């Protein structure tokens, strides 16, 4: 096998093991954006969520991001709650949560959850957002409804309290800025990954042996 063939095999193996890029399926930020400060030092409500309606088809999501500025290094817990049709209520169940460590920041930026897999069911309503374990955080919002890829963001945000056991505490009148991403599946399937891991070292060893018997690889 010459150098050209070797490069082809190595590139193919790298492509097989690379993660697929997750696509943004909802970005509900519409300028002008406003900032809400949540200060927990005085028993304030430290969490917010966008109020979402799902259209005629299920929607699979794999990551959540929220536009926020933590003012202390702490933790941010992403949450998905069930809700009902407008005007909504506070009786929804916590369906999913994911906690990430965050650092104090001097500016607003989208903070990502860990990858996961969750299906938003057709015709259902959800509150999706985050809650902060620290004392002070900024979130952004706007006043414009959105519909993208079968997900409608309603200008009636939900508020979330109690980091250790999040609960809903009432709707507001804003559209909290979040992004939802499609699941980022890894390719290939696990069996193919094993073949690549096992087979690639064997291929390299074979080429080295061939070189030792006079096979030229085109490199010195």
Q: Note whether residue 220 is domain-resident.
A: no
Inter-residue long-range contacts of 88-94, CB under 8 Å, 24+ positions, other chains counted: 88/51, 88/125, 88/127, 88/156, 88/158, 88/171, 89/168, 90/167, 90/168, 90/169, 90/170, 91/168, 92/127, 92/168, 94/166, 94/167
Contact in structure between 128 and 54 (CB atoms under 8 Å):
no
Sign of the C-alpha dihedral computed for residues 191, 192, 194 and 199 taken in this order: positive
Question: CATH number, domain at 108?
Answer: 2.60.120
For residue 10, give its domain range: 3-17+193-212
Residue 219 within a domain: no
pLDDT digits (tens, 9 = 90+) for 127-184: 999 999 999 999 999 999 999 999 999 999 999 999 999 999 999 999 999 999 999 8
Are 13 and 59 part of one and the same domain?
Answer: no
Q: Determine the average pLDDT of the residues in 102-112.
A: 98
- Strand pairing class (151-161; 47-54): antiparallel
Q: Examine residue 128 and state whether it is found in any structural domain, yes or no.
A: yes
Say if residue 39 is in the same domain as residue 126: yes
Residue 101 lies in a domain: yes
Under 8 Å between Cβ of 22 and 183: yes
The reported pTM is 0.77
Give a yes or no: residue 187 inside a domain. Answer: no
Q: How far apart are the C-alpha atoms of 29 and 192, rounded to whole Å? A: 40
Residues 89 and 137 in one domain: yes
Judge if 78 and 125 occupy the same domain: yes
Are 45 and 73 contained in the same domain? yes
In a domain, residue 75? The reply is yes
Residues 10 and 62 in one domain: no
Residue 198 clears pLDDT 50, i.e. is over it: no
CB 166 within 8 A of CB 160: yes
Q: Are residues 63 and 13 in the same domain?
A: no
187 confidence band (pLDDT: 50, 70, 90): very low
Instruction: Name the domain count of the chain.
Output: 2
172 and 197 housed in the same domain:
no
User: Is residue 218 one of the residues assigned to a domain?
Assistant: no
Residues 150 and 202 in one domain: no
Same domain flag for 52 and 146: yes
Residues 9 and 69 in one domain: no
Q: Are residues 77 and 121 in the same domain?
A: yes
């Amino acid at each position: 096998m010459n150098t050209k063939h070797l490069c082809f095999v190595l590139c193919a193996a790298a492509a097989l093991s690379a993660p697929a890029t997750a696509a943004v399926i909802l970005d509900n930020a519409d300028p002008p954006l406003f900032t809400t400060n949540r200060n927990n030092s005085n028993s304030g409500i430290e969490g917010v969520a966008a109020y979402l309606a799902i259209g005629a088809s299920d929607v699979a999501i794999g990551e959540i991001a929220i536009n926020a500025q933590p003012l202390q290094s702490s933790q941010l817990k992403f949450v998905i709650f069930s809700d009902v049709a407008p005007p909504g209520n506070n009786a929804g169940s916590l369906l999913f949560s994911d906690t990430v460590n965050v650092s104090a920041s001097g500016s607003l930026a989208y903070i990502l959850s860990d990858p996961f897999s969750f299906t938003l069911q057709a015709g259902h309503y959800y509150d999706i957002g985050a809650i902060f374990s620290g004392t002070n955080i900024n979130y952004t919002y706007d006043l414009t409804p959105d519909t993208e890829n079968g997900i409608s963001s309603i200008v009636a945000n939900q508020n979330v309290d109690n980091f250790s056991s999040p609960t809903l505490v009432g709707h507001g009148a804003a559209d909290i800025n979040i992004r939802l991403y499609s699941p980022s599946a890894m390719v290939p399937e696990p069996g193919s990954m094993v073949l690549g891991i096992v087979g690639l070292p064997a291929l390299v060893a074979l080429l080295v042996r061939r070189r030792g018997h006079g096979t030229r690889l085109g490199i010195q």
